Amino acid sequence: MDFVRPIALTYNLVLGPEVSIEALIAFVQEVICDTEGFEAETWELFAESDLDDSAIHQGSLPQNLAEERSPEVLEKGFAVDGKQGGAYLRKIEHRADDPDYGETHGHRFGWQLTYSVDLFDASEAGCRTAITLMSEVIVQAGHRLGALWGELLRESSGYLGPTPPHADPEVLVQIVQTDEIARAYPDPETYWAQWDEVNYVGQGRAIVSRGLGTTDETAFKEMVAERGIALCQTARPGLSKFLQGPLSAEEKAMLQTQESYLDQVGLDPDTHILEFAAYVPEDSYMTARDYKTLLNFTSPRTKKTEGIESVRIAFPDEAMARREFPLLSTLEVDVIYMSDAGVWAPLTS
């Protein structure tokens, strides 16, 4: 199958007011501009920008920029662009019209450092370089600057699986609050186990990452969907969600290669209940292919067209039903199981 690239990579960081503008400039110079493969193109200071673009300079941020300009000028923000990354810095202030204030975790003001790289025409090697450079920005900001929050996203259309709390499907790297993880997952270890790397950086924060060596978008989504299903089954009920867009041809083909544990029994003509039987091995969960099937039959359009009142899945025992119940309840699918008494029993919580 041909290589499928993500549309873009975007990182976003929020830093607290204790981080000086001089420290931010030094960070951008060292971690971004001086990195092999960055290939600086232009930079500008927003305080000096004007309509004729004369404030846009060729090359990278000057090494002595902090000495040449006043803090007042620098704090207005700056941008630096390269072929494989860059930085856009702005101050976040407590204003009603500032949509990013909520991400400063209660601080009176903070800094937002962000950038997006388009990958429409990037080679596989180019995608790999961009992922490496931009992931390091998040990791180093967490370790060196005590970033309050941050994430690196792969942007694309469509997705194969569910979205668990604190693990959006596009995320490659993010900085999370450990207390928020404990509130979302009764056993937080089930959350940490689904990431390739977990680094605790103090002050109740951790950096988690996954799939940094996976450049192909279809392969990345398959991995994220499998882990997302596992996370949703261990998260507190009601926190997971399904937000799916149209799938690419490659993703549709991949779905067909996945195992399916659903067997359609049929639509009862009297109750209008569409029933499935399911047998899921103890070391597995229902797959993205299964959930794609259920999403289709639980959609208002399909239910109206097919005359479906509700969808129900029957499991052979209670333990299997309980393993799958958290995510099925998100779809409002009814679950029944064969009880020890040999009769079908509903599972409601």
Domain spans of the chain? 8-234, 259-347
DSSP string for residues in 33-45: ITSTT--EEEEEE
Mean pLDDT of 307-333: 94
DSSP 97: T
Q: Which residue has the tokens 């950038």?
A: 115
DSSP 304: H
**Confidence band for 190, pLDDT divided at 50, 70 and 90:** very high
- Residue 113's pLDDT is 94
Judge contact between 61 and 34, C-beta under 8 A.
no
Is this prediction's pTM over 0.85? yes
Nearest residue to 81 (alpha-carbon basis) of 112, 53, 115, 111: 115
Q: Which residue has the tokens 């620098």?
A: 74
Judge contact between 3 and 122, C-beta under 8 A.
no
**Confidence band for 348, pLDDT divided at 50, 70 and 90:** confident
8-22 residue pLDDT tens: 999 999 999 999 999
Q: Tell me how far the alpha carbon of residue 81 is from its chain's centroid.
A: 24
pLDDT at 197 > cutoff 90:
yes
Contacts 24+ apart (CB under 8 A), 215-218: 215/3, 215/5, 215/124, 215/127, 215/128, 215/131, 216/3, 216/4, 216/5, 216/124, 217/4, 217/5, 217/6, 217/154, 217/156, 217/250, 218/1, 218/4, 218/248, 218/250, 218/251, 218/254
**Confidence band for 171, pLDDT divided at 50, 70 and 90:** very high
Q: Which residue has the tokens 């404030």?
A: 55
Instruction: Spell out a b/e string for 141-166, using b for 16 or more CB atoms within 10 Å of the CB, else e.
Output: bbeebbbbbbbbbbebebbbbbbbbb
CA distance 260 to 103: 40
- Residue 319's pLDDT is 96
pLDDT at 51 > cutoff 60:
no
Distance (Å) of CA 175 to CA 13, 35, 55: 9, 22, 34
60-79 residue pLDDT tens: 999 999 999 999 999 999 99
Beta-carbon neighbour count of residue 289 at 10 Å?
Answer: 19
263-316 residue pLDDT tens: 999 999 999 999 999 999 998 999 989 999 999 999 999 999 999 999 999 999
Mean pLDDT of 75-90: 92
pLDDT at 180 > cutoff 90:
yes
205-259 residue pLDDT tens: 999 999 999 999 989 998 998 999 999 999 998 899 887 677 878 888 888 889 9
Assign 235 to helix, strand or coil.
coil
- Residue 108's pLDDT is 67
Assign 68 to helix, strand or coil.
helix
Using a 10 angstrom Cβ sphere, with 0-12 exposed, 13-18 middle and 19 or more buried, the burial of residue 305 is exposed
**Confidence band for 97, pLDDT divided at 50, 70 and 90:** low
Judge contact between 344 and 336, C-beta under 8 A.
yes
